[in-house]
Amino acid sequence: MEIETEDKPPGSPLIRDSAIGNYLERSNFFIKYEGVNPTGTQKDRISRKHVENAIKQGYKEISVATCGNFGASIAYYARGMGIKAIVGIPAEYSNSRHAEIAAYGADIIEKPLKYEEMVEYIREEAKNNNWYDASPGSPNKSIDVSGYSEISFEIYNQLGFAPEYISIPVGNGTTFYGIYYGFLKLYRNRKIDKMPKFIATSTEGGNPIVYSFINGFRNIVELNPENIVETYANEPLIAYRSYDGQKALDALYKTHGKALYVSDMKMEEISRGFRKIDNLSVLPASASAAAGALKFAGNNSCVIVLTGSDK
């Protein structure tokens, strides 16, 4: 299997059309669709930056732990820029994009570990083997916030104002916090006169950010790893530890936001609806953001960030 790559920068449209509006029964909702990025998710925004940074620092290999999407994205940009990718994947993950990662020429490490355990394993291997570490919580994590903040700038430029609400799926909380940070910069630079209210959505299978917020905790609480069960629908979201969870939780409180658990069945239902109504391919976990918007935004303006396509 051979896949061609190109040096294409990530970026995504803001969609508002009658078909989606009729499906969601809202006229003031906008879709920020990250599925158009080169490998189909918002991960492309940071992967390109990580690979460029690795090359700039003189690394020959770049490593990442993944449940699938981030690994495919890192492997894509690594191949395009001529550096070796090493991708760690928990062995039991059903949505690993394993074949695609391999086709990009990455070395794949599979271990019978949970995602969080794989992150720690790859972190140690990166130290021991002088690999650049792109995994969540790495010494290079500032790139993640910078990359995801670009989503906020695009929304502002495309919409012309800050929406009342913005709904985003959360796993590690990094994308969520990055978008918050971007709007905060716009606010501090007086481009907007108020911050949107942020909505965090995740799987009812378990997520520390949503759990902590719903229970009124100001400090992030890790969940019991034994209660975490990955499924096709929830893999990008389910977690017992969220690496940027505290920052995401703080952002929820600071914006007077809301949080919601969404069932696998509901995520898959909304994903099918997007495809049926407007032929829009949406990862079920990403579709959780639409459920959050419908629950909390009412008839206010709301941008729904669909973080990936259902490849």
Q: Confidence band (pLDDT; 50, 70, 90) for 205?
A: very high
Lookup: tokens for 163: 């929406």
In CATH terms, are 14-36+142-306 and 44-133 the same topology? yes
Q: Confidence band (pLDDT; 50, 70, 90) for 73?
A: very high
For the chain, what are the domain ranges?
Answer: 14-36+142-306, 44-133
Whether pLDDT at 26 is above 60? yes
Lookup: tokens for 306: 């669909």
Report the C-alpha gap between 69 and 265 in whole angstroms. Answer: 21
The residues that bridge with 65 in the sheet, in sequence order, are 88
Report the C-alpha gap between 268 and 35 in whole angstroms. Answer: 16
**pLDDT score, position 9:** 66
Please report the sign of the dihedral spanned by the C-alpha atoms of residue 53, residue 57, residue 60, residue 66: negative
**pLDDT score, position 3:** 41
Q: Confidence band (pLDDT; 50, 70, 90) for 7?
A: low
CATH class label, 14-36+142-306: alpha beta
Report the C-alpha gap between 67 and 125 in whole angstroms. Answer: 18
Report the C-alpha gap between 85 and 78 in whole angstroms. Answer: 6
State which CATH number among 3.30.70.20, 3.30.930.10, 3.40.50.1100, 3.90.226.10 fits the domain covering 44-133. Answer: 3.40.50.1100
Q: Of 102, 90, 98, whose CA–CA distance to 69 is shortest?
A: 98
Read off the pLDDT of residues 76-122 as tens digits, 9 standing for 90 and up.
999 999 999 999 999 887 666 999 999 999 999 999 999 999 999 99
Read off the pLDDT of residues 214-235 as tens digits, 9 standing for 90 and up.
999 999 999 999 998 889 899 8
Read off the pLDDT of residues 132-175 as tens digits, 9 standing for 90 and up.
999 999 999 999 999 999 999 999 999 999 999 999 999 999 99
**pLDDT score, position 2:** 39
**Is 91 exposed, middle or buried (CB count within 10 Å of its CB: 0-12, 13-18, 19+)?**
exposed
Strand ordering across the sheet containing 61-65: 107-111, 84-90, 61-65, 132-133
pTM for this model (two decimals):
0.95
**pLDDT score, position 4:** 45
Cβ(98)–Cβ(89) below 8 Å:
yes
144: three-class secondary structure by DSSP:
helix
